[in-house]
């Protein structure tokens, strides 16, 4: 069975002592301070002199800052996470210059993530005991799952979320074995009413974790707004609202992990559509529901799990009219409003559920692309409007645009 080495991060919760919490809080503050000072230095150098400051130069500046009286407190924490913050800044600039992200921004004490990263020289791991630099005692980690045997972490990242929970993430190289091959393939169509519709005809209901907790979250946020900023009651109310957010995120991630793992285990080929989620979020009526569904997170999980376990993930063009194409005869209708959830093909008379038909057309298009390459498929004739037989609430995020890049050939039926 084929195996491959991959980078995996194992995340655990831990409970620090008062001394450890104080040390980590100082480290978080110093990491943020060094990052902001280095960013300010690089911005001023470019704005005033037109020069680019390298990561090595900011590292030399860090040494100089530690020698000054104003920033002498930087010497009280480990130098490893401080150096890592400079590398993170360099990575942010590299992503900006390559066009993959926007310009790096300053870290906020209240809004930015509280984290510190330690490389091999900043921690010691032995027999399930992890001790960080500047600490005399190991962390009290809740080992909720075992680590791979005989492997030591290369990087340790400590974080504290807004609800006050502490987490440690251990990055290590692990061998992952591919799953046994199977003969099945599935097309996946993402939606709002049903989180995904499969080409097999199954619909996975949308759990709507955010919407179900909306009333509790609203009460908690109103409580925060009534408290005096900076007071202890304000901090307690803010932590209560953050715990609700954390529970929503945890439940959503757990559900998406189980769904993506199931799809990868049961199918050799998975076909999805390249949705422009960021553009869809500009719709104020659907932004909340789209964010709650978290389609991008599901695609991310399918991507790396397919790579790990030897599956094939095919992504078809977002402009492929999967909803308006009949999965039985390939007929393309000109207009199919979102309110039409079931329709009848005017060419062959086949009755379609909108989302299931889109999943089947997505599967056929993906298999065509896999077999013949992109931009394949004969011309489609446009007919009049489809015969709508049932109307309901919109279950898809946005309407399909016209234009076919990877459409299924005429006469394509369900591939399952």
Structure-token match 């299931």, residue found: 356
Structure-token match 């009290």, residue found: 140
Cβ(359)–Cβ(198) under 8 Å? yes
Q: For the chain, state the CA radius of gyration.
A: 26
State the catalytic residue, choosing from 23, 117, 189, 292: 189
DSSP 363-385: HHHHHHHHHH-SSBS----EES-
Task: Supply φ then ψ for residue 255, to 5 degrees.
Answer: -65, -45
According to DSSP, the residues that pair with 169 across neighbouring strands are: 11, 157
Task: Supply φ then ψ for residue 300, to 5 degrees.
Answer: -60, -45
**Token pair for residue 58?**
């900011």
Give the chain's end-to-end CA distance (angstroms, integer). 26
Task: Give the span between the Cα atoms of 315 and 317, in whole angstroms.
Answer: 7
**Token pair for residue 171?**
């990055």
Q: What is the per-residue burial (b if ≥16 Cβ within 10 Å, else e) of 34-65?
A: bbbbbbeebeeeeeeeeeebebebbbebbeeb
**Token pair for residue 344?**
């009848």
What are the strands, taking DSSP E only, across 141-239? Answer: 141-142, 155-160, 166-177, 185-190, 194-198, 203-205
Instruction: Mark whether 355 is an active-site residue.
Output: yes
State the catalytic residue, choosing from 23, 117, 273, 353: 273
How far CA 190 is from CA of 135, 241, 320, 351, 411, in Å, comes to 47, 29, 14, 20, 24
Instruction: Mark whether 312 is an active-site residue.
Output: no
According to DSSP, the residues that pair with 353 across neighbouring strands are: 342
Cβ(71)–Cβ(44) under 8 Å? no
Task: Supply φ then ψ for residue 189, to 5 degrees.
Answer: -120, 120
Instruction: Mark whether 70 is an active-site residue.
Output: no
Give the pairing type, strands 332-333 and 382-383.
Answer: parallel
State the catalytic residue, choosing from 117, 292, 353, 355: 355
What are the strands, taking DSSP E only, across 215-255? Answer: none
Active site residues: 189, 273, 355
């Amino acid at each position: 069975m084929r195996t491959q080495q991959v980078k995996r991060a194992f995340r655990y919760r831990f409970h620090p002592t008062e001394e450890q919490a104080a040390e980590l809080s100082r480290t978080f503050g110093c990491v943020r301070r060094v990052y902001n000072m280095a960013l300010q230095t690089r911005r001023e150098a470019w704005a005033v002199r037109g020069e680019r400051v390298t990561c090595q130069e900011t590292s030399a500046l860090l040494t100089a800052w530690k020698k000054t009286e104003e920033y002498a407190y930087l010497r009280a924490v480990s130098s490893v996470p401080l150096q890592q913050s400079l590398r993170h800044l360099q990575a942010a600039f590299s992503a900006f210059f390559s066009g993959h992200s926007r310009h790096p921004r300053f870290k906020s004490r209240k809004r930015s993530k509280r984290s510190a990263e330690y490389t091999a020289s900043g921690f010691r791991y032995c027999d399930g005991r992890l001790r960080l630099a500047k600490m005399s005692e190991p962390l009290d980690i809740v080992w909720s799952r075992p680590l791979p045997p005989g492997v030591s972490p290369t990087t340790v990242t400590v974080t504290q979320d807004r609800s006050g929970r502490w987490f440690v993430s251990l990055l290590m190289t692990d061998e992952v074995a591919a799953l046994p091959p199977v003969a099945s393939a599935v097309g996946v169509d993402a939606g709002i009413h049903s989180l995904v519709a499969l080409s097999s005809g199954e619909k996975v209901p949308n759990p709507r974790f955010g919407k179900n907790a909306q009333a509790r979250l609203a009460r908690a946020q109103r409580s925060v707004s009534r408290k005096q900023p900076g007071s202890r009651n304000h901090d307690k109310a803010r932590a209560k609202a953050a715990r609700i957010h954390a529970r929503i995120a945890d439940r959503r991630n757990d559900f998406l992990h189980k769904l993506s793992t199931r799809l990868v285990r049961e199918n050799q080929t998975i076909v999805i559509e390249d949705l422009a989620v960021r553009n869809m979020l500009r719709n104020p009526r659907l932004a909340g529901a789209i964010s709650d569904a978290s389609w991008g997170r599901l695609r991310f999980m399918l991507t790396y799990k397919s790579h790990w376990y030897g599956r094939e993930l095919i992504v078809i063009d977002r402009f492929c009219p999967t909803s308006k194409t009949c999965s039985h005869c390939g007929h393309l209708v000109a207009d199919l409003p979102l309110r039409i959830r079931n329709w009848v093909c005017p060419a062959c008379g086949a009755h379609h559920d909108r989302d299931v038909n889109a999943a089947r057309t997505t599967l056929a298009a993906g298999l065509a692309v896999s077999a013949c390459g992109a931009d394949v498929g004969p011309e489609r004739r446009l007919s009049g409007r489809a015969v709508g037989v049932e109307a309901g609430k919109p279950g898809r995020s946005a309407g399909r645009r016209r234009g076919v890049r990877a459409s299924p050939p005429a006469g394509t039926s369900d591939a399952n």
